[in-house]
């Protein structure tokens, strides 16, 4: 697949850490971190958190096999689609409905996981697809490839698929959606870099992280706060939060951080780099 869900670095251990950051010409914002690692996992990536505090993500076991997981009240449960391999949960709503993608006969396939049952979703005829966000109205965002290999974002609302394409973009992915229907998107520009936008009422607004080479907007909460992964000029990834028009760049004290999920309780989730292709998950309040 081209880039589907660009910028995501796909019983728990909790350790408190604190980081204080300051955006240019903005007040200081404090982030308090906790590690979230699936027990005995080689690597853990947390991708989303809902308002009740349930988190989802992926982990790699000691044999190198990737699994999806859900962590609720300290208990981790595997979320693995029996119809394929490499299950990636990317979003979860208040009711616990999970969306993501998995490898189905060598191609990525979007899914919804509800009450223990997996259901394939995605625009009709799309060779590959991924579902990345879901709100409490069960509206789903994602991306898909068309028959020519071009990538588009989509919104699944009321049983109908709406294609989302940022004007002039080389590709578009619809990432997160809040309960007001505001959508975050990542897209490719004409010089090969990744930018971010929000979409509301048929209008697109660019929201790139200042100074970033690439900006990957992921989840958005009801207040309009957006969590990002961004890369610097050297290609190193970091986290950022857009809140009330201000950008706050942050880093888990353990290492370079990707920002993946956010809820309405001012909690962020993501992953930090331990070593090459090995990650630890985190949860942070702000």
Is the pLDDT at 12 greater than 50? The verdict is no
- State the burial class of residue 114 (Cβ atoms within 10 Å of its Cβ: 0-12, 13-18, 19+): middle
| Residue 28 pLDDT level (bands cut at 50, 70, 90) | confident
| Residue 4 pLDDT level (bands cut at 50, 70, 90) | low
Is the pLDDT at 24 greater than 50? The verdict is no
Give the pLDDT mean for 126-144: 98
The per-residue pLDDT for 9 is: 57
User: What domains lie within the chain, and their CATH numbers?
Assistant: 12-285 (2.120.10.30)
Is the pLDDT at 26 greater than 60? The verdict is no
- State the burial class of residue 116 (Cβ atoms within 10 Å of its Cβ: 0-12, 13-18, 19+): exposed
Q: What is the mean pLDDT of the chain?
A: 93
Q: Are strands 16-22 and 267-275 parallel, antiparallel or unpaired?
A: unpaired
Spatial contact of 113 and 131, defined as CB atoms under 8 Å apart? no
| Residue 235 pLDDT level (bands cut at 50, 70, 90) | very high
pLDDT tens readout for residues 81-112 = 999 999 999 999 999 999 999 999 999 999 99
The per-residue pLDDT for 14 is: 35
Give the pLDDT mean for 13-33: 60
């Amino acid at each position: 697949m081209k880039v589907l869900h660009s910028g995501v670095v796909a019983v728990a251990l909790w350790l408190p850490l604190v980081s204080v950051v300051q955006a240019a010409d903005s007040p200081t914002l404090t982030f308090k971190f906790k590690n979230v690692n699936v027990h005995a996992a080689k690597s853990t990536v947390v991708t989303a958190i809902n308002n009740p505090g349930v988190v989802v993500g992926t982990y790699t076991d000691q044999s190198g096999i990737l699994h999806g997981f859900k962590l609720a009240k300290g208990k981790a449960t595997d979320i693995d689609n029996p119809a394929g391999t490499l299950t990636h949960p990317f979003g979860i709503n208040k009711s616990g409905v999970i969306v993501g993608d998995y490898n189905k006969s060598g191609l990525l396939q979007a899914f919804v996981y509800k009450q223990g049952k997996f259901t394939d979703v995605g625009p009709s005829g799309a060779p590959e697809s991924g579902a990345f966000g879901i709100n409490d109205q069960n509206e789903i965002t994602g991306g898909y490839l068309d028959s020519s290999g071009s990538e588009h974002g989509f919104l699944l609302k009321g049983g109908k698929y709406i294609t989302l394409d940022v004007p002039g973009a080389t590709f578009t992915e619809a990432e997160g959606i809040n309960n007001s229907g505001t959508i975050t998107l990542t897209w490719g520009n004409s010089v090969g870099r990744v930018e971010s936008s929000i979409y509301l009422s048929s209008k697109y607004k660019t929201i790139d992280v200042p100074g970033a080479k690439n900006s990957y907007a992921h989840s958005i909460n009801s207040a309009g706060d957006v969590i990002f992964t961004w890369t610097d000029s050297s290609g190193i990834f970091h986290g950022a939060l857009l809140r009330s028009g201000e950008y706050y760049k942050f880093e888990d004290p353990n290492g370079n951080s990707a920002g993946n999920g956010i809820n309405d309780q001012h909690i962020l989730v993501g992953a930090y780099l331990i070593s090459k292709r090995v990650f630890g998950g985190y949860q942070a309040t702000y």
